[in-house]
Amino acid sequence: MTKPYLGIWLDHREAYLVWIDEDGETDVQHAEVDQPRHGRSSGRTISGRRGAYGGLPPHADPEEKRQIHAHRLYERICRAARTAESIYVFGPGQAKKQLLKTLREHKDFTGRVRALDSAQKMSEAQMTARVREAFDLPYSPARSA
């Protein structure tokens, strides 16, 4: 069964993709920016390639590094979201607007983003409820018991 409804909660460090199919069944995926913390290289980047900061020199501007890693997360989300018929984006800060900009760069997402809302950090259950509400979907019979 396809999962045509997708809710995306994100900030600059992580994202949750909440998929809901026509039967109300859900699947939640988590993705995060894999960037070195405290100036140390973890040896892995968000793309899975080895090396400090994914090809950026160690002395590169920290804000530039953050933006590049965030953009890589947005591109991963775009690849994952290709099968969604309808998309709802929510989260704190500016990350949701930056993701929307990235989605608009991909022509196949035209007209598929239903709404963009502000939301603070939530549990997976709260995210799922918010996505159901955004798409006016019933709760799964398995979940309501």
The residue among 106, 94, 49, 38 whose CA lies nearest residue 67 is 94
pLDDT at 103: 92
Give domain status of residue 142, yes or no: no
Dump pLDDT digits (tens) for 31-60: 988 655 544 444 333 344 444 445 666 677
Give domain status of residue 67, yes or no: yes
Query: What backbone torsions phi and psi does residue 24 show, to the nearest 5 degrees?
Result: 90, 0
Q: How many domains does the chain have?
A: 1
Give domain status of residue 139, yes or no: no
pLDDT band at 10 (very low <50, low <70, confident <90, very high): very high
The residue among 44, 49, 12 whose CA lies nearest residue 31 is 12
CATH code of residue 34: 3.30.420.60
Name the strand (E) or helix (H) holding 117: strand 113-118
Give domain status of residue 64, yes or no: yes
pLDDT at 100: 92
CA angle 142, 126, 76 (to 5 degrees): 95
Q: Which range is least confidently modeled, 56-60, 68-72, 109-113?
A: 56-60
Give domain status of residue 83, yes or no: yes
pLDDT at 1: 52
Give domain status of residue 60, yes or no: yes
Domain that holds residue 118: 5-17+28-129
